[in-house]
Structure 1
Amino acid sequence: MASGIGKHKLLVIGPTEPWSVREKLCLATSVMKSGDQNWVSVSRAIKPFAEPGRPPDWFSQKHCASKYSELLETTEAPK
């Protein structure tokens, strides 16, 4: 389920293995280009950057949104 932490909700959806730094960077870059409301575009854009052996649903729209929310929660705001 979802638990509200601060402004954003942290969702636990999809695979539980950690994303690589490269995958996280691709996710953040894609969200920067497409916005955080267009998960279809984000998901499509980062699929080519998957690490070997990832399941087909690794970059599902829900999993991308969940991982992005997690990144926002764990990243410090710039000073």
Structure 2
Amino acid sequence: MFCPRCAEHKLLVIGPAEPWSVREKLCLATSVMKSGDQNWVSVSRAIRPFAEPGRPPDWFSQKHCASKYSELLETTEAPK
């Protein structure tokens, strides 16, 4: 049985299939440094102008930004 809510949740967890560019990731990290990791509205607005051409309107949604930032933290090694 198909559950639209589960499908929506899965999309938010894994995000869109196309990867973020290095530039987009750097803009995300910089915006989080400036606005904090609790103010996703500001982060989302700040990085929209730096989108790669052809990104869908919800590419930098608050939830997607938070998810991508969490992913970045998990995959980045702490400096020694």
Determine if the TM-score, normalized by the shorter chain, exceeds 0.5: yes
Moved over 6 A (4+): 6-11
Q: Is the 8 A contact 1:39 1:64 kept in 2?
A: yes
- Deviation string for 1:6-58 (max 9, x for gaps)? 99999725312100000000000000000000000000000000000000000
Greater gyration radius: 2
Among all aligned residue pairs of Structure 1 and Structure 2, give the percentage whose two residues are the same amino acid.
95
* TM score, norm. by length of structure 2: 0.83
Q: Is the 8 A contact 1:11 1:70 kept in 2?
A: no
More strand by share: 1
Q: Distance in 2 between matches of 1:51 and 1:7?
A: 24
The match for 1:42 is 43
Q: Which has the higher contact order (CA 8 A, sep 6+)?
A: 1
Q: Is the 8 A contact 1:8 1:73 kept in 2?
A: no
Alignment gaps of 5+ in structure 1: 1-5
Query: May I ask how many residue pairs the two structures share in their alignment?
Result: 74
* TM score, norm. by length of structure 1: 0.84
